[in-house]
């Protein structure tokens, strides 16, 4: 039994996430965690809400609530939605936790001790009306390059020119709309990432098994232009982790907080502390410190491609810079984007399906199956209602659901609600065993390698084997002349349901549980020997005919949902 630490990208607190966010980190992480557990491995699967920064303050103000209260409410909302999608986190923490406050401050103090923090005097835009310094994204104006009148303080989305806030013409605060802006000086702390460029480059170069998407993004940030730059780790904000040097005040940093990119990844570690402090586990250090036993842990991260630079460079720089025995990630599984029907998901435009809405329409297994079987691993993927309807109806209803319904109902009508005996296995069953052995081995290989789409395709092929076996042997016809052979064929089919339930559980956990309950078994041992697995439910073992596993999505539903979530075109 191996030990696996799994983290997925930490979702931001200001709102409910869309399906692209789900398939880009949390859902494939859950798939892998469930699979490893089913193979007998020890797993710690951690996630949290990312709660600091200006967007959280603004979202709270819009909701008319104190920011701490808003974050608490939204954490509960996101936790409930995660549960609705059956995301099997061992702990779903919060970056605002006391554990993360203390750990972030300790990391900063240690990095300062190692000479990797420097103080920088900066000029930043201050909004007199808002009484605060404005991050670049909260300043808009006219682009001096192309004349676009909604250019942000960091970049013009029209011509893509990189900008400074002071470059903008007629700049204004996006918070209040005020044009009463001043340039003022302020002091901030920077992490000297450039000092760690060589160590980071060597580390990334050693990861020969990482996805090309992950390493190409990391190397681009490491080597393009001026290369890896020092990065600010503090901000002039009220909401966040106060800047301290360990437990001591940091002179000149009064009233400032750590920048969200710095404290959020540290929450991965802090969430393990929360897991222990809340009585869910023991000995968090054995997962995160190599001097406490974490040297035998395999650490896998899941994230969208936009998060790759922080997790391949900035967070590792934080870890490496301490020169303490913290666990570094072993494998980063990154994903491209899921787009929506020819455009992007958009909260403001009401385009696309968001996680809470999805659960109102259909049970989570529909979404889990489609998203994972179309995971954007090698390129961006696209959600369309036509494809969603076609695929779920065919895969879940016609292939898996139809097999379970046919074999259980036939057995009940011709024998009883108990596994029949019949004759010993024959040539067709031996071929089924051989085919299952080959297919399951391939499925295991794809799952071990976290090749999500290939694993889904292989699982579907395993489901198809059952239907092909029934079609080729036709027990309903055989029963008329040779009921003992038909009984044996039904016995094989009923045992296939148990096999399918176990193999499918990481993808569609609710349907898996329904199949196991119908077969009245709690035996979820992974099928290693297929002949044994096809005899796991012995003759006489009672079962019941389950309700229809998956209903089909109708054309009327598809049309209604497509119109409802179309929003405004980009």
Q: Residues annotated as binding site for Zn(2+)?
A: 143, 146, 156, 159
Give the pair of three-digit tokens for residue 204: 């990334």
Residues annotated as binding site for ATP?
Answer: 347
Distance CA 521, CA 191 (A): 55
8 A C-beta contact, residue 496 and residue 458:
no
Tokens 């994903």 -> residue: 335
Strands 257-258 and 3-8: unpaired
Contacts of 223 (CB under 8 A, 6+ apart): none
Give the pair of three-digit tokens for residue 570: 């980009």
Which stretches does DSSP call E strand in 98-191? 117-127, 132-133, 139-142, 151-152, 169-173, 181-191
Q: Cα angle vertex 12, ends 8, 17, to 5°?
A: 80
Tokens 């399951």 -> residue: 440
User: 10 Å Cβ neighbour count for 16?
Assistant: 15
**Selection from 260, 552, 566 nearest residue 383 by Cα:** 566
Distance CA 156, CA 479 (A): 72
Residues annotated as binding site?
Answer: 143, 146, 156, 159, 347
Contacts of 242 (CB under 8 A, 6+ apart): 101, 105, 256, 257
Give the pair of three-digit tokens for residue 416: 């009883």
Q: In which element (H, E) is residue 366 found?
A: helix 364-373
Burial of 33 (0-12, 13-18, 19+ CB in 10 A): buried
Strands 117-127 and 234-235: unpaired
Q: In which element (H, E) is residue 48 found?
A: strand 42-49
User: 10 Å Cβ neighbour count for 238?
Assistant: 12
Which stretches does DSSP call E strand in 175-315? 181-191, 231-232, 234-235, 244-245, 248-249, 257-258, 297-304
8 A C-beta contact, residue 28 and residue 375:
yes
8 A C-beta contact, residue 457 and residue 443:
no
Reported residue count of the chain is: 570
């Amino acid at each position: 039994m191996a030990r696996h630490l799994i983290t997925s990208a930490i979702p931001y607190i200001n709102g409910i996430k869309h399906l692209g966010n789900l398939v880009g980190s949390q859902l494939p992480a859950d798939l892998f965690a469930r699979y490893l557990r089913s193979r007998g491995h020890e797993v710690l699967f951690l996630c949290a809400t990312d709660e600091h920064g200006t967007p959280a303050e603004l979202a709270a103000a819009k909701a008319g609530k104190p920011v701490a209260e808003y974050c608490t409410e939204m954490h509960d909302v996101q936790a409930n939605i995660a549960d609705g999608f059956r995301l099997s986190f061992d702990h779903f923490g919060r970056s605002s936790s006391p554990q993360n406050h203390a750990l972030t401050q300790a990391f900063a103090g240690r990095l300062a001790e190692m000479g990797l923090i420097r103080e920088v005097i900066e000029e930043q835009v201050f909004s007199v009306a808002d009484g605060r310094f404005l991050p670049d994204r909260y300043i808009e104006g006219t682009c001096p390059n192309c004349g676009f009148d909604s250019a942000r303080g960091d970049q013009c989305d029209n011509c893509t020119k990189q900008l400074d806030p002071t470059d903008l013409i007629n700049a204004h605060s996006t918070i209040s709309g005020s044009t009463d802006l001043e340039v003022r000086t302020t002091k901030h702390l920077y992490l000297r990432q450039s000092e760690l460029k060589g160590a980071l480059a060597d580390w990334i170069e050693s990861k020969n098994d990482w996805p090309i998407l992950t390493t190409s993004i990391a190397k681009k940030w490491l080597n393009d232009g001026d290369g890896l730059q020092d990065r600010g780790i503090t901000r002039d904000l009220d909401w966040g982790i106060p800047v301290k040097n360990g437990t001591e005040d940091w002179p000149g940093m009064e009233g400032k907080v750590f920048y969200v990119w710095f404290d959020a990844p540290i929450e991965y570690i802090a969430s393990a502390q929360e897991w222990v402090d809340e009585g869910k586990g023991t000995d968090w250090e054995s997962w995160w410190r190599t001097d406490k036993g974490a040297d035998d842990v395999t650490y896998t991260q899941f994230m969208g491609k936009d998060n790759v630079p922080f997790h391949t460079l900035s967070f590792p720089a934080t870890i490496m810079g301490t020169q303490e025995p913290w666990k570094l990630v072993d494998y980063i599984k990154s994903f491209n984007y899921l787009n929506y029907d020819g455009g992007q998901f958009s909260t403001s435009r009401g385009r696309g399906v968001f996680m809470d809405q999805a659960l109102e329409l259909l049970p989570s297994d529909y979404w889990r199956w489609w998203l994972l079987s179309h995971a954007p691993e090698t390129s961006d993927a696209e959600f369309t209602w036509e494809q969603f309807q076609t695929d779920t109806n065919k895969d879940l209803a016609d292939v898996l659901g139809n097999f379970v319904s046919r074999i259980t109902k036939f057995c009940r009508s011709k024998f009883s609600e108990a596994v029949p005996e019949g004759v010993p296995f024959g040539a067709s069953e031996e071929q089924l065993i051989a085919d299952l052995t080959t297919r399951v081995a391939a499925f295991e290989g794809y799952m071990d390698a976290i090749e999500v789409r290939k694993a889904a395709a292989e699982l579907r092929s395993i489901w198809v084997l059952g239907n092909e076996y029934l079609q080729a042997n036709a027990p309903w016809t055989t029963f008329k002349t040779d009921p003992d052979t038909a009984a044996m064929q039904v016995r094989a089919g009923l045992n296939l349901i148990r096999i399918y339930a176990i193999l499918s559980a990481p993808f569609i956990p609710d349907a898996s549980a329904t199949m196991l309950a119908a077969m009245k078994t709690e035996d979820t041992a992974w099928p290693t020997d297929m002949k044994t697995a096809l005899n796991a439910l012995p003759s006489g073992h009672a079962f019941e005919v389950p309700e229809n596993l998956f209903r089909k999505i109708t054309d009327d539903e598809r049309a209604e949902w497509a119109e409802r979530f179309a929003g405004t075109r980009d």
